[in-house]
Amino acid sequence: MGNLQLDDSALERLQARLGVRFKDRSLLAQALVHRSLVNEADLADKDCNERLEFLGDAALGLVAAELLYRRYPDRAEGQLTHSRASLVNLESLGDIGGGLDLGEFVQLGRGEHLSGGRERRSVVGRAMEAVLGAVYLDQGLDALRTLLEPMLIAELDRHGWEGPAKDFKSQLQEHLQANAGPTPEYELVSMEGPDHHRLFTMSVRSGDAVLALGEGSSKQRAEQAAARAALTAILDAEGTTDVPAAD
């Protein structure tokens, strides 16, 4: 295994950090079981944290939506949707989980552990979602709201209501370089419409391979859209994280 099974003292430490005392601590323990451990520990699929992650994602979305609805009474539905997306994506969840040092508690298979999974934002973010699902099941929505709202408000205060800025071009370049891929290059595919309402289409390629196309009202926006589409496709194929949040 990538690490020892959690003992009672570890669960006590995590509960103290969360400020939540579980009635059923097995829920918290399950929230920390990464899928990579399933085969190595001869567990069933249902024993990993993915079902709790699914529930936590839904509960988080509800709490975030309610908070934004109350905090920004003058914002339109589209703006609230944008802000919620910035709060519930794996990057923000990874930051929140990182603030709790959640990675030290996640139970990983040996391969995932050796490849640095404990520090990987997607792993920590997914575990955070699962912990939220466990809190919801064990304590109910009010307790989850009490836990989550200060964290979400801190994210809003840090980044503004629109959430953290996303530079998908930088993310794509870093990911390709980390995997020894050629540096991405952007090319104009087409430019349509009148001067005051242009629509640009850009392609992004790595070596000889065209990774994706993107559209936008400027070349820069189209490049970001293309980078996001490429990054989404790459990460989806790797199965390492969710689709990046919209910029």
Convert the pLDDT of each residue in 159-209 to its tens digit: 666 555 556 887 888 888 888 778 899 999 999 987 667 788 999 999 889
Query: 129, 138, 155, 223: which one is catalytic?
Result: 129
**DSSP for residue 205:** E
Rounded CA separation 28/52 (Å):
10
The model's pTM: 0.64
Task: Please indicate whether residue 138 is annotated as part of the active site.
Answer: no
Residues 6+ apart with CB under 8 A from 63: 141, 144, 145, 148, 149, 152
Active site residue 7: no
> 168-174 contacts: CB < 8 A, separation 24 or more?
168/224, 168/225, 168/227, 168/228, 168/231, 168/244, 168/247, 169/223, 169/224, 169/227, 171/227, 171/231, 171/244, 172/204, 172/227, 172/230, 172/231, 172/234
Compute and round to an integer the Cα radius of gyration of the chain: 20
Interatomic CA distance for residues 102 and 88, integer angstroms: 17
121-139 vs 90-99: helix axis angle to the nearest 10? Answer: 80
Catalytic residue among 50, 53, 57, 112: 57
Cβ(50)–Cβ(178) below 8 Å: no
pLDDT reported for residue 3: 41
Contact 207, 199 (CB under 8 A): no
The CA–CA distances, whole Å, from 1 to 5, 37, 108, 112 equal: 9, 7, 7, 10
pLDDT at 37: 84
At residue 14's C-alpha, the angle toward residues 13 and 20, to 5°, is 110
Q: Taking 90 as the threshold, does the pLDDT of residue 8 lie above it?
A: no
Look at residue 65 in the predicted model and tell me its pLDDT.
95
In this predicted structure, what is the pLDDT of residue 222? 86
